[in-house]
Structure 1
Amino acid sequence: MNASWDILKSLSDPTRLRLLVLLSREELSVAELQEILSMAQSRISSQLAVLRQAGIVHDRREGKKAFYSLREDLPERVRSLVSAAVDSVADLPEVAEDAENLARILLKRRRQSEEYFNLIAGKLGRGYCPGRSWEAIGHLALRLVPRITVADLGAGEGLVSQLLARRAEQVWCIDNSQRMVEVGTELARKNGLANLTYKLGDIEAVPLPDRSVDLAILSQALHHAQHPQKAVQEAHRILKPGGELLVLDLKEHDFERARELYADVWLGFRESALHGFLKKAGFQKVDVTTVARETTEPFFETLLASGTR
């Protein structure tokens, strides 16, 4: 990490300060920063390079996109300097306008994902979906304990939950697509599953009380989350002591078209990343293993992660 003097110099530019205000709130791509600030890519990239060289921000590559965020491991003295600089411009009109544009960008993100799932509601079980194989789902189902309360987070139509509800005491399906909730509710009614309830909500802000479920499931949902760590932390929050989280998701891959075809935010995860999400959220007995490998291109692999609260 550079000396405090160098840090102060890096904070002396108005554009860099506006960037830091935004990145202190959300990880953003260069294109999103362009749209928020109404500036040329070259200008934004050059200022981000200064902040990166100063060790204040770091970048993450997703295909052709570069995402930037504040470093989580900033020393306390550096974090204090950055916080003071951000606070000093908080009341400026430009910063207020940036905040409005940021809210619009985040809403646009959510709507893109919701539009995709609203479009495919009622068709999800009949079409192809990466990682949604009976082999992988079977591995998840074998971990179940009867007569428990289950939360299926990012449930979609509730393919897994329709099976679980036949044995579980109560199953909650949480999804951010109104249409998915409607379709799932109708399926539960047709199948006579009174203990299967669908609720509209986000997996990063689950509409269930603390310590209210025995098992939480994130089945092919985490790679649609804007903030996977928050989703895992929410699962930890709603679990009773001794409860278990099961995460079924794609292993990291380079099939970039998944973003367009399936509204994926993340191109899967490394085993170490999933392990880190669960450990950071406070889970114990964390285990991550590959449970399925597809035999046709792009050869998706599926990971199963588990942890106990």
Structure 2
Amino acid sequence: MLTTFKSLADPTRLRLLAVLARGEFTVQELTTILDVGQSRVSRHLKILSEAGLLSVKREGTWAYYRLDGRNDFFQDIRPFVESRLTRDAGACPDRERLLMVLEQRRVRSLEFFNRHARQWDDLVRDALPMAAYRARLLDQVPARPVILEIGVGTGNLLDGLRRRADRVIGVDHSSVMLQQAGQRIRDAGLTGIELRLGEMRHLPVSEGEVQWAVLNMVLHHAPQPQQVFCELARVLAPGGGITLADLHRHQNEWARERMADQWLGFERSELEGWLLMAGFELKSFEMLNGRDSEHAVVLLSAVKIQ
């Protein structure tokens, strides 16, 4: 208790906690959000980490700080602390700069996809070869009246998803990607598919509108992955669920620039933690290892807890 209270007894460290309650950030991003020097931010991060309030996730040359569960006492008082921090009017400038950092992440990704949409399938095949997983992913998607695909891209899953649903909704934040998906739909003569422009953190889908959701290689582009799962819980009907395929954690730093990846894949523990916090129960998880230079893929299904 004494260690925890000492670590909290500083206004800058309280500001850091308020920011990190919203997601994971690098030292550089935290410096921008708090508008203070890097050495000062690093010193306070060290104190919070030593007290067990924070942990560091290293991805290539980047390090992301996050709230941690090692300090049992802090976990007990965390809801109260966070509720008081959100009511602190002095934190408003921090929140504005935090939203600016997240917007920079989003815009960087959007510009990349708009620029490369017409060559996207070739780019992925050549630059980021992955273990064969498409058939396994579709096998895990149950038949449902309405299925949502987040990050529909050029639409290469739409045909398979349409075979499992009366109606498919495809969402993407890139209008150019949606144009490519629309052309694929027309060329294949597919019906019952609706394309919508929107962000995965704020889906253009009403509450409980869909019964299943599919995320195919999109979560590693999300500015805040945990928020995506919370948004999925909103749009899924009771008993609904998700099927997700994404990259397993790797250290290929070049993917940030060449593929606009925000995250270098994921471990089971963090995915399961985000799902649990958003109200999902993990039902299946497997890792498909690639051959030679192919990236390993994680494949999971989870259901919304009633």
Using the size of structure 1 for normalisation, the TM-score is: 0.84
Of 112, 117, 123, the residue aligned with 1:121 is 117
Of 146, 150, 153, the residue aligned with 2:147 is 150
Rate the CA distance shift 1:142–1:99 in 2: closer, same or farther, 3 A: closer
Aligned residue for 1:259, secondary structure, equals helix
Paired-residue identity, %: 34
2:141 and 2:164 in contact (8 A); partners too:
no
- How far apart in 1 are the matches of 2:274 and 2:30? 26
- Structure 2 match to 1:174: 171
2:141 and 2:243 in contact (8 A); partners too:
no
Rate the CA distance shift 1:179–1:79 in 2: closer, same or farther, 3 A: same
Rate the CA distance shift 1:161–1:224 in 2: closer, same or farther, 3 A: same
Rate the CA distance shift 1:16–1:296 in 2: closer, same or farther, 3 A: same
Rate the CA distance shift 1:25–1:295 in 2: closer, same or farther, 3 A: closer
Q: Is 1:67 matched with 2:64?
A: yes
Q: Is 1:13 matched with 2:21?
A: no
Question: Which runs of 5 or more residues in structure 2 are unaligned?
Answer: none
- How far apart in 2 are the matches of 1:81 and 1:269? 29
Q: Is 1:306 matched with 2:296?
A: no
- Structure 1 match to 2:44: 47
- Structure 2 match to 1:221: 218
- How far apart in 1 are the matches of 2:211 and 2:108? 32
Offset at residue 32 of structure 1 (A): 0.7
* Equivalent runs, 1:237-248 vs 2, <5 Å: 237-248=234-245
2:282 and 2:300 in contact (8 A); partners too:
no
2:244 and 2:301 in contact (8 A); partners too:
yes
1:217 and 1:246 in contact (8 A); partners too:
yes
Rate the CA distance shift 1:140–1:70 in 2: closer, same or farther, 3 A: closer
2:219 and 2:246 in contact (8 A); partners too:
yes
Higher RCO (CA < 8 A, seq sep 6+)? 2
Rate the CA distance shift 1:103–1:274 in 2: closer, same or farther, 3 A: closer
Paired AA for residue 176 in structure 2: R
Rate the CA distance shift 1:174–1:14 in 2: closer, same or farther, 3 A: same
1:7 and 1:78 in contact (8 A); partners too:
no
Aligned residue for 1:125, secondary structure, equals helix
Paired AA for residue 252 in structure 1: R
Question: Which runs of 5 or more residues in structure 1 are unaligned?
Answer: none
Of 108, 112, 119, the residue aligned with 1:112 is 108
Rate the CA distance shift 1:188–1:132 in 2: closer, same or farther, 3 A: farther
- How far apart in 2 are the matches of 1:238 and 1:290? 27
Using the size of structure 2 for normalisation, the TM-score is: 0.84
Q: Is 1:254 matched with 2:251?
A: yes
2:211 and 2:237 in contact (8 A); partners too:
yes
- How far apart in 2 are the matches of 1:79 and 1:232? 20
Deviation string, structure 1 residues 158-216 (Cα, Å, up to 9, x no partner): 21014433663211111122221233223323433231111112222322223332331
1:211 and 1:239 in contact (8 A); partners too:
yes
- Structure 2 match to 1:23: 20
Offset at residue 151 of structure 1 (A): 0.7
Moved more, 29-38 or 181-190: 181-190
Whose Rg is larger? 1
Rate the CA distance shift 1:131–1:281 in 2: closer, same or farther, 3 A: farther
Rate the CA distance shift 1:131–1:115 in 2: closer, same or farther, 3 A: same
- How far apart in 2 are the matches of 1:261 and 1:240? 37
1:131 and 1:220 in contact (8 A); partners too:
no
- How far apart in 1 are the matches of 2:272 and 2:17? 29
Of 229, 234, 238, the residue aligned with 1:232 is 229
Deviation string, structure 1 residues 236-294 (Cα, Å, up to 9, x no partner): 44333444421111122221211122111222122343344444444446111123x33
Deviation string, structure 1 residues 14-55 (Cα, Å, up to 9, x no partner): 433332332233422101122233433222101111222233
- How far apart in 1 are the matches of 2:43 and 2:282? 44
- Structure 2 match to 1:91: 89
